[in-house]
Amino acid sequence: MKPKHILGLLVVAAALAYLIFGGLGQNLVYFITPSEYFQQAERYQNRPVRLGGLVKAGSLYYNPQTLELRFVVTDGVKEIPVRSSGATPPALFGENRGVVVEGRFQDGTFVSQNLLVKHSESYQAPKEGWTPEQVRKLIEETQ
């Protein structure tokens, strides 16, 4: 291999390494947690932010008539109230479930424009003795 080829490969490898371990890792955080918000609250004002965490148990309020949705996102340490409107939440949305909301902070409340549900990587069959038909009925009844 010619020296200029080796040099070229080294430049490409260095650029990729910088992208992966330097720039991308630090600056492109997909979502922030409530604790991170309170560490640098003024940094996240008046700009679009993604906030991620769990929907706190007992905090969920949903009005199907007005589509008004309110809940609290927690990371186990800090909590942030979230207000969302205009769209029906996905079927998997619920208390103690992972959620990522896109929107802005307004006076301590997060106003969500888009609500995404984060589900687990575990796939388990329903409890013993349940046939698929029974589960289908159960799912239809809860909706």
Partner 1 sequence: MQLTRSNPKGRLDSLTWAILGLGVLGAVVGFFMAMSSPPDQNQGFVARIFHMHVPTAWMAYMASFGALFYSVAYLVRRQAHFDRVAAAAVEVGLIFMALALLTGMLWARPTWGVYWDWEPRLTTTAILFAIYVGYMVVRGAIEDPELRAKAAAGVAILGAINVPISYMSVKWWRSLHQTQSIDLTTGKIMVDSAILIPMLVNLAAFTLLYIGMVRLRGIIAAREAAQEEA
Binding site residues, partner 1, CB under 8 A:
12, 16, 20, 24-25, 28-31, 52, 89-93, 100, 114-127, 132, 135-136, 139
> For strand 61-63 and strand 109-118, is the pairing parallel, antiparallel, or unpaired?
unpaired
In the complex, least distance from residue 26 CB atom to partner 1, rounded to whole angstroms: 11
Q: H/E element holding 83?
A: strand 79-84
Give whichever of 73 and 115 is closer to partner 1, judged by the CB atom. Answer: 115
Is 119 known to sit in a ligand binding site? yes
Select 12 or 41, whichever has its Cβ closest to partner 1. Answer: 12
CA distance 16 to 130: 50
CA distance 139 to 50: 30
Instruction: Tell me whether residue 42 or residue 121 sits nearer to partner 1 (CB atom).
Output: 121
Task: Report d(CA 32, CA 38) in Å as an integer.
Answer: 10
Smallest gap from residue 12 Cβ to partner 1 (A): 7
**CB of 98 within 8 A of CB of 118?**
yes
123 is in an annotated binding site: yes
Annotated binding site: 119, 123
